[in-house]
Copies of this chain bind each other. A is one copy, B any other.
Amino acid sequence: MSTIKDVAAAANVSVATVSRVLNNNGYVNEDTRKRVVQAISKLNYIPNEVARSLFSKQSKTIALIVPDIKNPFFPEVARAIEDLMSSQEYTLILCNSDEKIEKEIMYLNAMKQKYVDGIIIVTSTLTPKHIEKSDIPIVALDRTISMDIPSVSVDNFEGGRQAVQYLKSIGCKKIAHIRGPHTIINADERFKGYIDEVKNESWFSDDLVVNGNHQVLETTKVTKELLMKHSDIDGIFAGNDYMAVGVLKAAEQLGIRIPEDLSVIGFDGIQLCQLTSPELTTMAQPIYELGYRAAELLLEMIEGKPISKLHYQFQVKLMNGQSTKVLGVTNDEK
């Protein structure tokens, strides 16, 4: 690998001049510029980013810390982030925290050490205290951390409400909820949205809510128990799409027809929804947009632009599949 020195020697100028043409700043005579450009291409020279970073204290690199890239929600945000970042010549480091605070802190330190220019993180456990002392720009994605830390997420409470409202609107008379882990704030919000919508219903009782733990198998198990106990449940709001699949499986095993006997709605809108049969009705998040916006926000922070808005909250949108019945239309007509 040739260095700026080699180029300077080849073009018979000083390294400063080469640097000038490289960065396109400062005066440089048209002829010398040409000589330099020639030398560069002749030597196949590319500037060493590490040396640049050492000087500039910027690495043109950002980190994305997610619980687990295998969770299909995250590849899509990762893709969105990488799309924007690579277009700006930034590079993306991927970290998996498994929702463990030690790992999050470990990565935070490692990233600081590498001079990454910014971090996008999905976390339920980190508090502002862990973050504030690192002066590096951070954006919270999917879940907010605090009022001070910029975030991009959806309105999970409202999404939960709307899911239930939709089930009501198509005529469901007893609606259960399979919720996600208590440790994850979004699961709580969705749960609260459900509660808000059903708490005054005569049919409502606490045991219409069970915990599926964001797992398919676990959900199938608890849903079967639930449906055997309450045979008159005709609508289920699952806290995410995985759990909705678990519900589908439970219904199948019990010989309950979907959507004729039971309407199921999920949350998230991951690709999976189109792949099941029946296809899943879900409250879809604009997943790619979330990632993209988080990246845009982070970029603004990195560039030191004034941040007009700290918190971006997107709305979820009903995505109609075949797992919810259509009011006034029998199955034959569909």
Contacts and interface: CB of A to CB of B under 8 A. Distances in A.
Interface in A225-284: 245, 248-249, 252, 271-272, 274-277
A68 interface: yes
A115 to B, nearest CB: 5
Interface in A69-112: 69-70, 72, 74-76, 78-79, 82-83, 86, 89, 91-96, 109-110, 112
Contacts of A128: none
Contact of A51 (B1, B54, B86): B54
A72 B69 contact: no
Contacts of A83: 96
Given A93-B92, A109-B46, A68 B79 contact: yes
A91 B47 CA distance: 22
B91 A91 contact: no
A53 interface: yes
B50 A59 contact: yes
Given A275-B245, A275-B275, A115 B69 contact: no
Nearest to A74: B75
Given A78-B94, A79-B96, A272-B275, A54 B50 contact: yes
Interface of A: 1, 46-51, 53-54, 59, 61, 68-70, 72, 74-76, 78-79, 82-83, 86, 89, 91-96, 109-110, 112-115, 216, 245, 248-249, 252, 271-272, 274-277
Contacts of A249: 277
Contacts of A59: 50
Contacts of A79: 68-70, 96
Contacts of A1: 112
Contact of A92 (B51, B89, B94): B94
A275 B93 contact: no
A70 to B, nearest CB: 5
Closest 4 CB pairs of A and B: A94-B94, A69-B75, A50-B53, A49-B114
A275 B216 contact: yes
Contacts of A46: 109, 112-113
Contacts of A277: 248-249, 252, 276-277
Contacts of A75: 69-70, 72, 74-75
